[in-house]
Chain A
Amino acid sequence: MKISKILLLMGLCWANPISAQITINTLFEMQRGKVPGSDTTSVSTAYNQVNVDFSQKGFQAGIRAEVYNAVGTSREVYEITQKYARWNHKGFRLEVGNYNAILGRGLTLRAFEIPGVVLESQLYRLRYSPTQDMAGAYASWTSGYLEAKALIGQPAVGDIPPGATTGNPPRDIARRQDWVSGGELSIRPVSPIRLGGTILNVNPDTPGDDNTGAWSSFADIDLSPALDKAGLYGSFYGEYAKRNGGPVGDGLYLSGNLGGSRLGLSFEFKDYDNMGLRFNAPPSLIREHTAFLLNKATHVLLSINEKGYQTEATYVQPNVGTLTANVTYAKNTLGPTVTTVFKERHFSFDLEKFSDLNLGIFFNWGKDDLSGINRRRIAGVVAEKKTTSGQSIGLDLQYQRASRPFGDPQKFTDAYSLISWKHPKGFGAALIMDRTSDPFEVDRPETFDIETGTRAFWSINLNARISTYYDAVLFAGERRGGTACTSGTCYQVLPFKGLEMRVNTYF
């Protein structure tokens, strides 16, 4: 009731032109269709995320409400999922409520969310925005030579949607468990060097649980001032983390870069053992891909035990293009005799010679034992041609050959093709055909028969931007489920067949 009154007050403020400074953003997604293998008939669902923010100079406050309703089912959620107040003044920031934060490079703590992603939980069949944020208080202060962060709060369990219940009669599942407190302190003894450490303590909600803590120390060195005379740049970052107070674990992350005017090199090394803390996210060291088949084949980090490296070289030839070569390796030791290996080699070339033509080609090969893929080759070409009227036509062709050590047949192929059209006014359309002979995808879970051969997933996408305030995307057809990744964070997407409309508004 109290919050309602505050909202009403905010609404009145909005109606009064003197005060202004209220923004309302919504993300509305409506579906009419089914999840093959789970739904026997089409279901209409609506998800709406509403963010109301108030800002006045350095002060900002807001709430997020999430509403989900699957018509004709008991699946419905009406929740205020986030609320916050934030104050920024020069280098000082104070937040109360829900917040994002990172300590070091995320080995001990990383509170974040994946913007713009709406997922459906397979277990609870609820749609929601995945978050691993904190609810509590956070303060940070930055001066020229000193940086300090202090926080306390309850982390969200990212794969439990708001409104999830268990048992009969249904009981709400706590999305936030345990209290985490800690911080980070770093100093710059000289401008290019930053030395620091992080510390965390966990107070479990359930008495008797292990009280787990963690700490890390790091060094961040900018080598560019020393290399500048030679026309080079470089940097190095190293962090060692230790988990204690309960299950013991440790993690080492090293990264660096070195380059000149055209050639750039970057490298990363990881060695994580028992570093899955629920509220952290150690860097994955896996190359992020936007190409559909590559993105779907991304290796998912196992922070319980993973060791590996990534190195990438980029060569830019001005007015010609960019050549990228990447080598990634990861090994998981999951038991005395169980090890899995992920390997990836990636080459790509992006032509940057013509202002009206974008052309990129890539070739990628490797293996991922954890996904049961012992060999794969993926190649693709992405092109976009702009016409004199500003419209553009795009073509995206990707092909994969892969094999598994089990299943029948063991070898399979995937072909993905997309043709698109874009108008400079902000609307466009795309036709997508995704064909596979993967026996796990070809067999339809909704039938008793075992289908073989190939299966095609057709869809169309229409999108429109209507001024600064609205944009909309309409999807019709069928899409595969599986792994999808955004900004290096991977999640599972359910398959879908039907109609989907998304509308974003920004006021």
Chain B
Amino acid sequence: MKKLIWLIIYFSLTIVPAQATNVSDFNLAAPNGKRLQLSKLLENGPVLLDFWATWCKPCIQGMPKLDEIHQKYKDRGLTVVGVNEDGPRGQTRIRPFLRGRNISFKIAIDSDGGVMKQMQVRALPTTILIAPDGEIVLRQAGLSDPKPLIEAIEMLLPKKEAGDENK
């Protein structure tokens, strides 16, 4: 067993971040019962996942900025999804929370924490930007400077036509 473990550690320590990491699919319920499937969302363009909970202060602090990003880039194909990690009680608590704050991006409820585990999320908030081909382009744990995120989004989205600026 020791040999096996050391083999795993060897791989984990010798690996270099040259490889793209592809995300696996998930299907979660929204607060209204409708389903959100990652692969379908990716058909429209990049997806920004934000793992959050109502009790997480830094998550709340970061939400207005995320909503701003959603408003700015939704027409260019970006989908922002707030993946709620309140657990089984999430469904009851997130609506009063979201409505008052005018959060307009999509919300998915990860009631068993399965997607959090699948995405190797270890801290809240964590934002993960996924390219349309499933590649994880950026991962930010904790309340972070939005500049690298915005730069990465701009890289993924189709460039604006010169005329679009005046529209």
Binding site for B on A (CB under 8 A): 3-4, 7-8, 11, 14, 17, 20-27, 48, 50-53, 55-60, 63, 65, 67, 78-80, 86, 88, 90-91, 93, 99-102, 105-106, 110-113, 115-116, 142, 188, 191-192, 194, 220, 222, 224, 233, 235, 237, 255-257, 259-266, 268, 281, 283, 285, 287-290, 312, 314-316, 318, 322, 350, 352, 358, 360, 382, 390, 424-426, 465, 467-469, 471, 487-489, 504-507
Contact with A along B92-132 (1 / 0, CB 8 A): 11011101111000000001111011101111000000000
* A29 vs B65: C-alpha distance when bound (angstroms): 32
A358 x B61 contact (CB < 8 A): yes
List A contacts of B9 (CB < 8 A).
Answer: 48, 50, 65, 67
Residue of A nearest to B98 (CB): A264
Q: Assuming the A-B contacts A100-B112, A283-B88, are A90 and B27 also in contact, with contact meaning beta carbons closer than 8 angstroms in the complex? A: yes
Q: Assuming the A-B contacts A7-B7, A266-B96, are A105 and B21 also in contact, with contact meaning beta carbons closer than 8 angstroms in the complex? A: no
List B contacts of A289 (CB < 8 A).
Answer: 55
B2 lies within 8 A of chain A by Cβ: yes
B120 x A51 contact (CB < 8 A): yes
Q: How far does the Cβ of A265 sit from chain B's closest Cβ, in whole Å?
A: 6
* A360 vs B61: C-alpha distance when bound (angstroms): 11
A264's contact among B19, B57, B99, by CB below 8 Å, is which? B99
* A101 vs B112: C-alpha distance when bound (angstroms): 5
Residue of B nearest to A281 (CB): B88
A468 x B96 contact (CB < 8 A): no
Q: How far does the Cβ of A392 sit from chain B's closest Cβ, in whole Å?
A: 9
List B contacts of A26 (CB < 8 A).
Answer: 12-13
* A7 vs B11: C-alpha distance when bound (angstroms): 9
B113 x A112 contact (CB < 8 A): yes
List A contacts of B140 (CB < 8 A).
Answer: 465, 468
B71 lies within 8 A of chain A by Cβ: no
B96's contact among A99, A257, A471, by CB below 8 Å, is which? A257
Q: How far does the Cβ of A414 sit from chain B's closest Cβ, in whole Å?
A: 20
* A399 vs B102: C-alpha distance when bound (angstroms): 33
Chain A to chain B: the 7 pairs with minimum beta-carbon distance, closest first: A264-B96, A116-B122, A316-B100, A288-B55, A424-B145, A105-B88, A102-B112
Residue of A nearest to B89 (CB): A283
Interface of A is mostly: strand
Q: Assuming the A-B contacts A21-B22, A65-B8, A113-B117, are A467 and B17 also in contact, with contact meaning beta carbons closer than 8 angstroms in the complex? A: yes
Residue of A nearest to B2 (CB): A78
Q: Assuming the A-B contacts A58-B24, A90-B37, A468-B138, are A488 and B1 also in contact, with contact meaning beta carbons closer than 8 angstroms in the complex? A: no
B162 lies within 8 A of chain A by Cβ: no
List A contacts of B96 (CB < 8 A).
Answer: 257, 259, 264-266, 312, 314
* A358 vs B11: C-alpha distance when bound (angstroms): 42
A78 x B17 contact (CB < 8 A): no
A106 x B120 contact (CB < 8 A): no
A7 x B4 contact (CB < 8 A): yes
B44 lies within 8 A of chain A by Cβ: no
A390's contact among B12, B101, B145, by CB below 8 Å, is which? B145
